[in-house]
Amino acid sequence: MYPDKMNRCVIIDDDAASIEVLSHYISKTKSLDLVAKFTDAIEGLNFLVEKKGTIDLIFLDIEMPEMNGFEILKHSQYDGALIVISANHENAISAFETNACFYLPKPFSYTQFLKGIEKFKEAEVRIDPNSYSRDFIFVKDDRLYKKILFADISYCEGKGDYISLKCKSQTYTIKSTISNFLEKLAANPEFVQVHRSYVINLHYLTDFDSDTAVVDGKIIPIGAKYKEQLKNSVNFL
C-alpha cells in the first residue's frame, strides 16, 4: 500500500475561534497539512491566487466582511476541494452549488470534521504528480493508486475541473485539468491537443478532416487553433 499523500489545507474564516478549532483538528488528522490561515478574506484571496494549483483543500467561511466566500471562489478561480463552514444553515444549499464536498455547520465536533475529511477523500481522484514515468502514470482512486499505461489511453477529455481518461478497460474521471495532464506528457509526443477540451493519442487516430477527428471510434472536434499542430504531428504521403 502506498503512503497517504499530505494534503495542503488553507482556512479562510473571519472567526478566530473557529480557526483555532479547525487548526487543532487538522493537526490531529493524518494526511492533512495546514499551510495557511486567514481571518481577512482579501488576504486569503490573494494567497489563493498566488498559490494557485498548490492547495488541495480549503475550509471556507461564507459570511465575511469585505468579501464573502462565494466571491473568493469566483475571483481566485480555485479548482481544488472545498469544505464550506458557516454558522448560518441557510448557506448549506448554496454550499453544494459551489461543488463543495462537505458542509460543516458551526459549532462542529471532531467527529463532524472527520466526516468532511472522509467526503474529501471519497471525492479525491487525482493525478499523483510524483508517480509517473514516460510509460505510465498512477492515479489515486479512492484509497488505491492505480497504474495506467499511457499506451492504453486513447484520449483525454476536459470537463471543467475534471478530466476523463478513456482507456482500454474503463474510463477514469480525475480531479485535474487538461494543462496539468499535458505537463505529464512532455516526453510523449504521441499525445496531441486538438481542442481546448481534448488531447488525443495518435496511435488511436484513424482519420480526420479539417473539423473533426475519429479516435477510438469517437468523433472529436478539432479547434481552429490546433489544426496545424495536428497536421505537423502526423506523416503524410
List the domains of the chain with CATH numbers.
7-123 (3.40.50.2300), 128-231 (2.40.50.1020)
CA-based angle 54:59:62, to the nearest 5? 120
Cell 473539423 -> residue: 211
Q: Is the pLDDT of residue 158 over 50?
A: yes
Is the distance from CB of 88 to CB of 112 less than 8 angstroms? no
pLDDT higher than threshold 50 for residue 215: yes
Which pLDDT band, with edges at 50, 70 and 90, does 14 fall under? very high
pLDDT of residue 93: 60
| Amino acid 23: pLDDT | 96
- The CA-atom distances, in angstroms, between 52 and each of 57, 95, 162, 230, 237 are 12, 21, 16, 30, 45
Query: What does the pLDDT read at residue 2?
Result: 37
Averaged pLDDT for residues 205-213: 94
Q: How large is the average pLDDT for residues 153-177?
A: 87
pLDDT at 90: 67
Question: How would residue 95 be classed by pLDDT, with cut points 50, 70 and 90?
Answer: low
pTM for this entry: 0.53
Taking all residues of the chain, what is their mean pLDDT, rounded to a whole number?
Answer: 85
Cα–Cα distance for residue pair 14/48, rounded to 1 Å: 16
- Would you say residue 59 has pLDDT above 90? yes
Q: In 77-211, which residue ranges form alpha helices assigned H by DSSP? A: 91-97, 110-123, 178-183
Residue 133: band (very low, low, confident or very high) from pLDDT cuts 50, 70, 90: low
What is the reported pLDDT for 47?
94
pLDDT at 184 over 80: no
What percentage of the chain reaches a pLDDT higher than 90?
A: 45
Going by pLDDT thresholds of 50, 70 and 90, the confidence category of residue 3 is very low
**Per-residue model confidence (pLDDT) at position 1:** 34
**Strand, helix or coil at 138?**
strand
Q: Is the pLDDT of residue 82 over 50?
A: yes
